[in-house]
Structure 1
Amino acid sequence: MSTAMPFAADTTLLSEVTAAVKTAGLTLRERHTPHARGVSLEEVVAEIHANDDAVLDVLREPLLRARRGSQWAEDELAGGALPSGEWWVVDPAEGNINHVHGMEDWAVTATLVRDNQPVLTVVHLPLTGDTYTAVAGGGARLNDRPLKVSGKTDLGAALTGTGQARPGEDERTFRRIGDSVTAMLINGLVVRVSVPATMQLIHVAAGRTDAFWQFSDVRSGLVAGALLVSEAGGTVTDLAGEPWNTGSRDFLAAAPGIHTAALKVLSPIA
């Protein structure tokens, strides 16, 4: 099969996936409230699961039907390499914790991963109606506008970000996050620490921020942003500087002009 054939098929698939994700976004938007839902941990977790279930009820089958033979990565908090073939890596409520607390930083994401590389992604923000899309080799877009990463070359002028990938990370990971924030506060301009990863990575892809790193391999928070940033001209690696894939244990996406400097700051902590 020629390299043009998968690209053409992925481009054709994009409109169908976009429609499915937007429809699922309506479900999540209808569930949103301007106030926090749940007081106890048990109540908050129940609200999170209810969001996931409601969205997956309308999203799973359309995606599997759109790409015959594709498989579904069941655990959205899982990391590590996937078996060969095509897999849907979906976060039905990326930023679910924000959603159930009445905040606005959340989205629905769906990414097709082929042999551990993201090749197609849709990130839809139901509250604004904005949709970020990318196909490998075809660039990244916000609605109908091409995206391009920042042109900065000075880390000292950079707005960067990080955050935890999941609740209950091990203490070593928390300490690495803290150490990395300190290091980047010293070497960069401003550091944003927030969740979810995708909502930071769309800003890197759009050139609004300059870098994002994470000490985690949670696939669902990284695959969409990795493809968007790389297709917008950014550099996506692990913290050893090697090309990133779903088997990588950590992550850095940055504007090319500051990637090396960011890596120099962060790699000793990794």
Structure 2
Amino acid sequence: MSDSIQSTGNAAVAEAVSDADLLAETAIAVGAAGSVLRERFGDVVRHRTREELMSALAANDDAVLDVLRPRLESLRPQAGWVEEELAGGALPSGEWWVVDPAEGNVNHLHGLPDWGVTATLVRDNQPVLTAVHLPLTGETYTALAGGGAHLDGRPLRVSETTDLGLSLVATSQARPDEDQAVIRRIGSSITSMLGDALVVRTSVPATLHLLNVAAGRIDAFWQFAGARADLLPGALLVTEAGGRISDAEGRPWTPASESLLAAAPGVHTAAVATLSR
């Protein structure tokens, strides 16, 4: 088992709490942790070296995890914990907490508003519930498998757009120092979408774009490569809001896939065609 994954027990342990109740408590936990991140937000955090940058990123993560991890572990003591937020691929069987304590951390350090806290419970490699808190707005997005997607209790629904040429679409860079083949694929896909969609947005983090797809504000989002922590929350939100999830070629998406496409049903096929060129 990877050093970045810690298991705290067997996910088969029976629990009386329902997944709906667990989601409600998870939402409270990410809200409390988000308060820590909000208190650390302000001026641009200057750095002269990669080491200084990584130290500042880690300081944010650690401050949030000091609050978030004990709360989640008390909710689901038998669940494993994914330590590395940039890790990808399938997980071992059972239950796992997949958490990004500072999704959009680099934005936070640069004084930009696009960041939040996410926590997703994965059961046998399927996301069961997720909560995403945006501390600057106070908004909390939640989704429960089979139970819909919500923003502060209000149901979310993807766009009804059927014309890619009228669509606002978005993409994101999964991580710094990406493989050159992935970089070329990102560039090619943006060029293709610039010709077929109305407007293309490019920014990080992925989760915030996926929230907007679930809320019907953006019609499609795609990303090449990626980590569980930045794709699983949004994938569940979009699915529960009525959207379609696949890889960029239209095949079923899993955390081990090399790409993700999340779209309103009416533009999914056209987006696949564009990204497959």
Q: Once the two structures are superposed, what CA deviation does each residue of 1:80-107 show, in whole Å capped at 9, x if it has no partner?
A: 1111111111000000000000110000
- The residue number in structure 2 matching 1:120 is 129
- 1:21 is paired with a residue whose SS is helix
Q: Which moved more, 1:40-49 or 1:122-131?
A: 40-49
Contact kept? 2:93, 2:124, Cα under 8 Å: yes
One-letter identity of the residue aligned with 1:81: A
State the TM-score, normalizing by the size of structure 1: 0.94
Are residue 241 (structure 1) and residue 237 (structure 2) matched? no
CA positional deviation for 1:45: 1.6
Alignment of 1:1-270 (within 5 A): 9-268=18-277
> Displacement, 1:15?
1.3
Tell me how far 1:248 sits from its aligned partner.
1.6
Structure 1 spans left out of the alignment, 5+ residues: none
Instruction: Judge conservation of contact 2:85–2:99 (CA < 8 Å) in 1.
Output: yes
| Rounded Cα–Cα distance in structure 1 between residues aligned with 2:48 and 2:30 | 30
Shift of 1:217: 3.4
Does the Cα contact within 8 Å between 2:249 and 2:275 map onto a contact in 1?
no
Q: Distance in 2 between matches of 1:88 and 1:267?
A: 33
Q: CA deviation at 1:169?
A: 0.5
What amino acid maps onto 2:169 in structure 1?
T
Q: Using the alignment, how far apart are the partners of 1:189 and 1:90 within structure 2?
A: 33
Number of matched pairs: 263
Q: Conserved in 2, the CA contact under 8 Å of 1:111 and 1:119?
A: yes
User: Which range moves more in the overlay, 62-71 or 240-249?
Assistant: 240-249
How far 1:9 moved relative to its partner?
Answer: 1.6
Percent identity at matched positions?
62
Tell me the CA shift for residue 44 of structure 1.
Answer: 1.8
User: Which segment drifts farther, 60-69 or 195-204?
Assistant: 60-69
**Distance in 2 between residues matched to 1:207 and 1:199, nearest whole Å:** 13
Runs of 4+ in 1 over 3 A off after TM superposition: none
- 1:140-167 Cα deviation digits (max 9, x unpaired): 0010210000000000001101111011
CA contact (8 A) 2:175 2:226 kept: no
Q: What is the alpha-carbon distance in structure 2 between the residues aligned to residue 128 and residue 34 of structure 1?
A: 18
Distance between the aligned counterparts of 2:220 and 2:207, measured in 1?
12
The SS at the match of 1:166 is: coil
Cα deviation for residue 171 of structure 1 reads 0.8
Gaps of 5+ in 2: 1-13
SS of 2:21's equivalent in the other structure is helix
Note the alpha carbon deviations across 1:60-95, whole angstroms, 9 max, x for none.
Answer: 121111013100011100111111111111000000
Is the contact between residue 37 and residue 102 of structure 1 (CA under 8 Å) also seen in structure 2? no
**TM-score, normalising length: structure 2:** 0.92
